[in-house]
Amino acid sequence: MGTASETKISILEAAIHYAREFGLEVLSIGKLANIVGMSKSGLFAHFNSKENLQIQILEHASELFTKKIFKPAIKRPRGIPRIRAIFDNWLKWANSAEKGGCIFVAASIEFDDIPGKVRDYLHGVQKIWISSIEQSAELAIEAGDFRKDTNCEQFAFELHSIMLGFHHFNRLLDDPKAKKRTMVAFDNLIERYKVGVSK
């Protein structure tokens, strides 16, 4: 089982790499078989259908996202330090791809009009992610870092929007200041909700 699982992980990582650049829809099991140098029937044994493959790619990306962004951040103290760690890790994730950017941004645009299991999975996993941001804002209120009247849903919307802005300015617009703009926007956001700062 160990080896099988490792094989599968390496297939999924190759698939993520491809999907970040070209999208999930164009990645057939046949094409993936070519990329990883396996037989098509061998890959069918792993994934059964293109839809299953797409979902397993997103599940694996989601595990990576949690591991790289959220898990290291919860070691930081509750409140602004933890939120800043989430932001820093997230920006590193969004910026790390030489090609393709964040698979969730690309897949969201690809599947927002295509009802089915892939869209449902994307919808679910991003709702969870947004709830985690909301929760980190609630903890920041409890820790005395954020004002008591902070609307945590609004905070999560605005933080998420900034990261989408980074993706757009960095990738399509090739803006060399994209990262700086994103960091300033984050600081502005924190300033707005921080205790001791007027609205």
Residues whose CB falls within 8 Å of the CB of residue 1, separated by 6 or more in sequence, listed in order: none
Burial of 73 (0-12, 13-18, 19+ CB in 10 A): buried
Q: Minimum CB separation from its own copies for residue 176, in Å?
A: 12
Which of 81, 100 has the CB closer to its own copies? 100
Which of 69, 122 has the CB closer to its own copies? 122
Q: Minimum CB separation from its own copies for residue 182, in Å?
A: 8
Q: CB–CB of 125/112 below 8 Å?
A: no
Which of 71, 127 has the CB closer to its own copies? 127
Q: Minimum CB separation from its own copies for residue 163, in Å?
A: 8
Instruction: By CB under 8 A, name the binding residues for its own copies.
Output: 21-23, 99-101, 105-106, 108-113, 119, 122-123, 126-127, 130, 151, 153-154, 157-158, 160-162, 164-166, 168-169, 171-174, 177-178, 181-182, 184-185, 188, 191-192, 197-199
Which of 96, 161 has the CB closer to its own copies? 161
Residues whose CB falls within 8 Å of the CB of residue 67, separated by 6 or more in sequence, listed in order: none
In degrees and rounded to multiples of 5, residue 61 shows phi and psi of -65, -35
Q: Minimum CB separation from its own copies for residue 101, in Å?
A: 7
